[in-house]
Structure 1
Amino acid sequence: MNYLLDTTVLLDFAHDRPGALELVDRLFADGETLYTCDVVTCEALSGGDAMERRVIRGVLDALEYVAVAPTGARWAADARRTGRSAPGARSLADALIAATAWNLAATLVTRNPRDFERLGIPVLRYA
């Protein structure tokens, strides 16, 4: 199965938050195909101290990296345009992350599933 890790997983992993460590370890142990993308990489490495970024880089290095594809960018634009009239309009970052999951036919691993589920993206939520 394909999984795209959202920024929340990487940040929670770096902070030793319950659920994130166990889930990432289990996904690796099960031999699942785990991805990251340009948006997640940028978000995850934009903050934190040097130690947190080192932990995040370690996880990122173990993941398959993909960039947003042109078809994904168009899908994200459609999702944002449609979402502007609804409560909780999607951010550009979330729309691009969702589009990458859609393009990979991947389940998105996140602590914040609501906006992604509205877009029809399969989500694996952890606590």
Structure 2
Amino acid sequence: MATFVGASQAGIPGALAATCGVVLPAFCIILLIAALLRNLLRYAAVQDFLSGIRPCIVALILATAVTMGLHTLFGFAKLGDGLHPDAKGICILALLVGVHALTKRLRKHAPSPILMILLSAGLGICFYDFPC
């Protein structure tokens, strides 16, 4: 979103500036946390805190996945809305599950997540009438 606004206001330099303005603060904070965390992991209290917060993080990721899945596949945005299945989305999901299962069976390990993301992007572009 920031890249789009920056590009619309000042072209490529605006897009770069807006993107850097969004990405750099978070990047610097993560670098700082990573540097400090290495030293802090020696303390049992920090390890206990991280072990305790892990289920919360898993729950947040799972809730996001369920919400996005319901919205994408069935058009379910909030309670009270009916289910409106998206045949294209369900077909893409079925293809991805099939590719994953076939790859796991033939190669004895799961496919690369990056390749699965690229495949899903390509399928989305093709199925939703973008030029292939």
Q: TM-score range by the shorter chain?
A: under 0.3
Higher relative contact order (CA 8 A, sep 6+): 1
TM-score by length of 1: 0.26
TM-score by length of 2: 0.25
Q: Name the one with the larger strand percent.
A: 1
Q: Name the one with the larger helix percent.
A: 2
